[in-house]
């Protein structure tokens, strides 16, 4: 079969403007989708992000490699090319079920050359069928090469460099960014419980525009080695606690808001720009899933990349964190809702977009009923990972989860 040429991506200068991205918040979802990957008379499209000129503000020149957009993979003849230079980049947001999903990627995909996972090690070799080059950039394949739980800002400026370094040569690769999101309040409570047990994520770099965030920009919420046994009111009371609106921050281009320097613009403006940027980047991603919609997320992944998991994703509607949310005092619930207001709006946007993608793929699939009823049913695959998504969301204690 002849495949259409999709432009391979390498390092590129992308001009992004806060004023233009803000308009994204005001667009209906179908228009928001259409501007990802489609040039118009006012600018040109680069990797799913539109670079436009603005009369109202000076441009920021940012080196970004945002990968191929969802629009790019909608073509009927598209295929993720394991033998070429395609790379899947997993943006792993804490407490969204990413640890379990990451294990799925390295253990349970039906591949010509399965990933080689070593016992007692959190690392697998996920190489292309005919050469020892990585097709997956993730915690369990390459390790945290761009920093612990690297975000969109860090990954898009780092992945290409790290793979060149790792493979000893410069290559023109096509990048496909993937991620998971979770209902914001349940995710926040899960992070609270994880931190209360001693997790810190001190290894995170918080890298933006060539430097790490300073101690003045991100003051510590606690003294000592961890925040063990912190109560919820203290946790929510720390203004520099990155648990609040974590999903929005990790999906946004932080260079647009002065990185971690909150004095660079008014708080309300910073929030609007960050949310609009996160929406745009999410809509441009080749794939994202939602923790609350396992089966739908699995189907969308498999149909998007023409890859099959050898195990079905299970849905468990009751988690410890969901129970904890129900037990919040009214004042605590109001406070946590306010702290995560951007994530709540982003999640609503993501949910609508996920359902749209599902319906689009479903309409194209003449064997949908059979396919959907038999997700993960690859009878000849042996030794697959036992998987319980929501129970694994509550990971055991580890500072690198």
Token reading at 69:
């957009």
H-type alpha helices, 123-179 = 152-156, 159-167
Displacement of CA 38 from its chain's centroid (Å) = 22
Q: Count the neighbouring beta carbons within 10 Å of the beta carbon of residue 218.
A: 16
Buried b (16+ CB within 10 A) or exposed e, 105-136: bbbbbebeebbebeeeeeebbbbbeeeebbbb
Residue 314: DSSP 8-state: P
Alpha-carbon gap, residue 269 to 218, rounded angstroms = 19
Closest to 356 measured CA to CA, from 32, 76, 90: 32
Tokens 């940012």 sit on residue? 62
**Burial class of residue 326 in the structure, from the number of CB atoms within 10 Å of its CB (0-12 exposed, 13-18 middle, 19+ buried):** exposed
Displacement of CA 20 from its chain's centroid (Å) = 23
Catalytic site includes residue 149: yes
Q: Count the neighbouring beta carbons within 10 Å of the beta carbon of residue 262.
A: 15
Alpha-carbon gap, residue 16 to 255, rounded angstroms = 9
Alpha-carbon gap, residue 311 to 171, rounded angstroms = 33
Contact 274, 342 (CB under 8 A): yes
Active-site position among 92, 104, 149, 194: 149
Active site residues: 149
């Amino acid at each position: 079969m002849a495949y259409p040429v999709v432009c391979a991506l390498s390092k590129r200068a992308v001009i992004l403007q806060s004023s233009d991205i803000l308009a994204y918040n005001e667009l209906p979802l179908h228009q928001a989708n259409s501007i990802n990957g489609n040039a118009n008379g006012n600018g040109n499209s680069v990797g799913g992000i539109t670079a436009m000129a603005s009369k109202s503000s000076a441009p920021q020149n940012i080196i970004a490699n945002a990968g191929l957009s969802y629009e790019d993979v909608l073509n009927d003849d598209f295929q993720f090319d394991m033998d070429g230079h395609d790379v899947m980049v997993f943006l792993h947001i804490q407490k969204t079920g990413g640890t379990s999903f990451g294990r799925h990627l390295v253990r349970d995909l039906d591949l010509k050359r399965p990933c080689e996972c070593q016992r007692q090690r959190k690392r697998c070799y996920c190489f292309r069928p005919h050469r020892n080059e990585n097709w997956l950039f993730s915690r369990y394949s390459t390790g945290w090469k761009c920093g612990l739980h690297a975000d969109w800002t860090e990954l898009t400026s780092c992945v290409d460099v790290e793979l060149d370094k790792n493979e000893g040569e410069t290559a023109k690769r096509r990048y496909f960014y993937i991620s998971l999101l979770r209902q914001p309040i349940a995710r926040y409570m899960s992070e609270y419980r994880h931190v209360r047990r001693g997790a810190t994520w001190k290894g995170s770099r918080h890298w933006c525009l060539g430097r790490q965030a300073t101690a003045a920009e991100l003051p510590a919420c606690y003294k000592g080695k961890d925040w063990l046994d912190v109560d919820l009111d203290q946790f929510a009371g720390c203004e520099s606690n990155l648990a609040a609106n974590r999903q929005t921050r990790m999906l946004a281009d932080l260079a647009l808001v002065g990185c971690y320097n909150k004095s660079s613009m008014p708080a309300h403006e910073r929030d609007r720009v960050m949310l609009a940027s996160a929406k745009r980047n999410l809509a441009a991603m080749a794939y994202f899933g939602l923790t609350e919609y396992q089966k739908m997320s699995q189907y969308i992944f498999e149909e998007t990349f023409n890859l099959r998991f050898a195990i079905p994703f299970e849905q468990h509607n009751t988690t410890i964190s969901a129970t904890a949310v129900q037990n919040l005092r009214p004042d605590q619930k109001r406070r946590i809702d306010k702290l995560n207001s951007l994530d709540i709006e982003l999640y609503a946007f993501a949910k609508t977009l996920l359902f749209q993608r599902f319906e689009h793929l479903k309409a194209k699939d003449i064997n949908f009923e059979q396919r959907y009823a038999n997700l993960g049913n690859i009878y000849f695959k042996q030794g697959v990972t036992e998987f319980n998504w929501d129970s694994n969301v509550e990971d055991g204690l580890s500072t690198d989860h």
